[in-house]
A and B are shown apart, each in its own frame.
Chain A
Amino acid sequence: MSQKVLLNATEVHIALQRLACQLIENHDTFSNTVLIGIQPRGIYLAERLKTILETDYKIKDVPLGYLDITFYRDDFRRSGKTLEANKTKINCVVEDKKVVFIDDVLYTGRSIRSALTAIQSFGRPLEIELLTLIDRRFSRHLPIQPDYRGRQVDAFGEEKVKVCWEEKDGEDAVYLVNN
């Protein structure tokens, strides 16, 4: 197994700052916006962006929820093992709001397809955007593209993109792992 650094800590921070600024351009005070971190790995990115928006750019109380897509996945009984769920926590109204889905890596697009179905259980958003730190080009199974991306990556099918977060994995970095 070999791995290559795609983004180091500094580059991750620069990307986060840029993504936060791009969100502000489109969402201003976030009074009509809800950020939704996709479980399990999107919640770290979502929390980081919320912190940057609130501390660096003084935006008050950016609404943030976590959405688990396990029960909406299209590979139930196909992967050979039980799909384990994570916590969903959406304490804000999504009806008529601008929703931004936040996930660490966009790969086949199937998770986002599931998330689009899942969010409907909470209401009818005005519109939904997608933000990902890493966009794996050339690997989509569905017609889904991000509105905001940290870095576009060309990776082969057998390669894996691993996003590490300080609070979870002890460092901020993105690796391309070759098995």
Chain B
Amino acid sequence: MSELSVNHLLGIKYITEADIQLIFETADHFKEVINRPIKKVPSLRDITIANLFFENSTRTRLSFELAEKRLSADVINFSAASSSVKKGETLIDTVNNILAMKVDMVVMRHPNPGAGVFLSQHVDASIINAGDGAHEHPTQALLDCYSIRERLGDVAGKKVVIVGDILHSRVALSNIFALQKLGAEVKVCGPKTLLPKFIADIGVGVESDLRTALEWCDVANMLRVQNERMDISYFPTTREYTQQFGVTKTLLDSLNKEIVVMHPGPINRGVEITSDVADSKQAIILDQVQNGVAVRMAVIYLLASKIKHNEN
């Protein structure tokens, strides 16, 4: 197979294992490109991409913007805080106004789950979901799996535990789908109040004890506690959360094997993981960031290939 089965990247749920493998193979080439003296290729010089961020983001937005610029696409940025959305404009109107300026692709982050799917049904552009509420964050899952593949050789057959706030995490859901499609075994670990009720139905094991989970896994993906999404208290205190679900160097060193530690950022140092873990050789957090650009270049390149060339 040499092209994606989809015209949009709305979630890992909608793509196949072959799509993921194609994205990884293409990302390998882009990883080489971004390590050259001149880190830019001219492929997308006639493509315009709009980055629509209806929710705050630093690294995802920078990563997408860099990926787009490395591919020579024209980029326009939009953030809800300083836009007409505040004046009551609807999502479709906002996007159609932007598309009227001849934009080919939209990268969108939105607080509502399903916003990307909705948009893809109503506007004529290729859509990349950069996070929709607590639903999916497909490029994060792709770069996480790509980083596991890079460090451990393959994703298939690996055991991955996702620790922390699963309930509010789009990263968790996309990661679960991607890891399962690639043949990894997935467990989640966290306070019961932060585990969704459906979790067992999608074939994910639950482990309430962190040490047992770490003894079992090859990779631990530590999620951030998303205080901004919590309208009620899910655990008594941050200190108690850290004592039960925080990873320390002492804990890592006491395991009978060396595991890989991941974190999608931003890190709350001293909450999910301590500083010495974040800065240790076992942590691949900065590799994840670098791979993020290569993986997003691959996704954008492959989707842009499917946009019909306008002869006029």
Contact = CB atoms under 8 A, between A and B. Distances in A.
B3 A82 contact: yes
B305 A77 contact: yes
Contacts of B308: 77
B306 interface: yes
A84 B302 CA distance: 9
A25 to B, nearest CB: 31
Contacts of B302: 82
Interface stretch (A53-61, A116-124, A128-136): A116-124
Contacts of A120: 38
B154 to A, nearest CB: 19
Interface string A67-86: 01011110011100111111
Interface in B29-46: 29, 32-33, 36-44, 46
Contact of B37 (A86, A87, A122): A122
Contacts of B306: 82
B305 A83 contact: yes
B281 to A, nearest CB: 26
Contacts, number: 57
B32 A77 contact: no
Contacts of A88: 29, 32-33
A73 B309 CA distance: 15
A121 B38 contact: yes
B58 interface: no
Given A82-B302, A83-B305, A122-B36, A76 B43 contact: yes
B3 A77 contact: no
Interface string B6-42: 0000000000000000000010110011001111111
A86 B3 CA distance: 15
A78 to B, nearest CB: 5
Contact of A121 (B36, B304, B305): B36
Given A82-B2, A84-B2, A71 B33 contact: yes
B42 A71 contact: yes
A117 B42 contact: yes
Nearest to B308: A77
Most buried by B among A68, A71, A73, A83: A71
Nearest to B46: A77
B234 to A, nearest CB: 44
A61 B33 CA distance: 26
A88 B41 CA distance: 13
B40 A87 contact: no
B2 A121 contact: no
22 contacts: A71-B29, A71-B41, A71-B43, A72-B42, A76-B43, A76-B305, A77-B304, A77-B308, A77-B309, A78-B309, A81-B2, A81-B3, A82-B2, A82-B4, A82-B305, A83-B305, A85-B29, A87-B29, A88-B32, A121-B36, A122-B36, A122-B38
Given A76-B43, A87-B29, 6 more contacts: A76-B305, A83-B305, A86-B29, A87-B32, A121-B33, A121-B41
Interface of A: 68, 70-73, 76-78, 81-88, 117, 120-123
